[in-house]
Amino acid sequence: MDKSQATVRPEVIALGTLIETTIERAAVNVSARPGAGMLFLGNRHMVFPVRVVQDSILEPVDKLVWMTIFLQTRASSLHSAFPSYDCIQKTANIGSKSTVARSLAVLRATRWLTLCARIRASSGRFGGNLYVLNDEPLSLVDVLHLDSGYMAFLHRAQQHNHARVQRVARGVLETLDADIRSGVDVCAGHRSVPCDEATVKTFSSDGQGRNLQTLKQPSALSDIATDVSQHPESSQPSRPKKKNDAIMEDEEVALIYPKRLDKNQWALTNRYLASVLPEQRQPILDELDGRLRSVEKGMRPLYDEMSFLNSLCKATRKGEFKLKLGAPVQAEREAREKVRTRGRQSRAGALNSDPRDLRVQLETGVGALTRIRQSLGQPCRTVSRRPDKD
C-alpha cells in the first residue's frame, strides 16, 4: 500500500499509513490466540448510515451483519477487535456460521468491508486479519489501493459454495466489464458499486446496471449449515487459476506482462484486454511496459497505469493505436524468442541425429580418452561395438 496513485483520495492514503502502523504494532504485540483487527473508515456517530439501509443489493442479513460489526466500534476506540463469527451469530441472531461467512463475502464484494492485511508475528505465525469497515462502498481505485487481493477474491467468489455470493461477485465483474467495453475509465474518479435503486438505474447510459439488478433477487438456495473458519472466503473450494485469467483462456500464447503490475492491476489488465482482439493484446502490453520503463530515462512517472492502459485500449478499438515506446520492448521480446527457438531446434537436431554420426563421435571421444590413459600409464578400457544393422 506504499505505492502512489494519483486518483486515490488523500484520506485513503492516510489510512494506508495508519494500517501499516497498526500491522507493525500488531506483529509485535500479537496475543497467544490469533485474532482479527479492524479499523473504522468514517465519522463516529450513534446512528447507522442511510446508505447501508437503502442498499438494494444487500439482503437484510447482510445489512444486519454490517451493523453488528459497527456496534463493535462503539465499545472501543479507533482500533477495534473484529467480532468473531460466534459473536456476530449471537448478536444478530443468525442461524449458522455459513450465513455469517456468506454476508461477509457479500460485504467485501460490494466494498462495504475491506480486507486490508493479514497480520503475522515476527516468527511468521498468523495473527489475524485487519479489516476496514466503510460507511459507504469504496470506489474501485480506493479498494484496489487498500486490498491487494480484491480482484482475485472476486474471481474466486464466482465459485463460492453459496449461490448468492456467486451472483454478487459475477454482477460486480460484469458491471466492471460493461464499463470497460463502453470506454469508461473505471479507475478514474470515485465510482463505487451501485447500491440504491436510482443509482442502479442511472449508473450508465448503456444499461450495464442491469447486471446488478439481478442481485436483488432473493437467493433460491438455503444456507448450508457447515462450520467455517474466521475468514469471509473460507467457504470457497476453488483455487485461483494460474493461467492469465478466466476471460483470457482463449489465448493460445501466454502474454508477457510488465513486471511492475501488482496482482489487482494484473487482473484488471486482463479485463481491459478482453475488449480488444487477441492479436492486439501483446502490443498494448509492450506499449504499457515501454511507458513504465521510460521513467528510468527521465520521463515523468506514470502513477495511474490502468488509466493509461484504458487509453491504449480505446485507441486500439478506434484504429488509432501506434506502437511507440513499446517498440524496443517488442524487439527485445522477439530477440529472446529467437534465442529460445534456436536452442529448441539445436536440441531437437541433436536428438534426431543419424545413429552412425553419433557412433563416429563416440569413437572419436573414446580414442582421445585412450590416448590420455596411455600417457598416464593407466590401463585402457575396451569398448565393445555392436554390428551395424544397415
Q: Rounded to an integer, what distance in angstroms lies between the CA atom of residue 80 and that of residue 38?
A: 5
pTM confidence score? 0.67
Residue 117 region by backbone torsions, left for phi larger than 0, else alpha for psi between -120 and 50, else beta: beta
| Residue that has been written with the C-alpha cell 492491476 in this structure | 265
Share of the chain above pLDDT 70, in %: 70
* Average pLDDT across the chain, whole number: 77
Do residues 130 and 148 make contact, with C-beta atoms less than 8 angstroms apart? no
Q: Is residue 60 very low, low, confident or very high in pLDDT (cuts 50, 70, 90)?
A: very high
Confidence check: pLDDT of 264 > 90: yes
Mean pLDDT of 156-174: 94
Residue 33 burial class via C-beta count within 10 angstroms: exposed 0-12, middle 13-18, buried 19 and up: exposed
Do residues 282 and 255 make contact, with C-beta atoms less than 8 angstroms apart? yes
Do residues 188 and 307 make contact, with C-beta atoms less than 8 angstroms apart? yes
Q: Is residue 384 very low, low, confident or very high in pLDDT (cuts 50, 70, 90)?
A: low
Q: Rounded to an integer, what distance in angstroms lies between the CA atom of residue 131 and that of residue 154?
A: 17
Q: Rounded to an integer, what distance in angstroms lies between the CA atom of residue 285 and that of residue 258?
A: 7
Q: Is residue 226 very low, low, confident or very high in pLDDT (cuts 50, 70, 90)?
A: very low
DSSP per residue, 320-377: ----STTHHHHHHHHHHHHHHHHHHHHHHHHHT--HHHHHHHHHHHHHHHHHHHHHTT
From residue 53, alpha-carbon distances to 57, 59, 108, 140 in Å are 10, 10, 17, 21
Confidence check: pLDDT of 240 > 50: no
In tens, the pLDDT along 69-95 reads 988 876 655 556 788 899 999 999 998
Do residues 136 and 73 make contact, with C-beta atoms less than 8 angstroms apart? no
- The most confident of the ranges 29-33, 192-196, 219-223 is 29-33
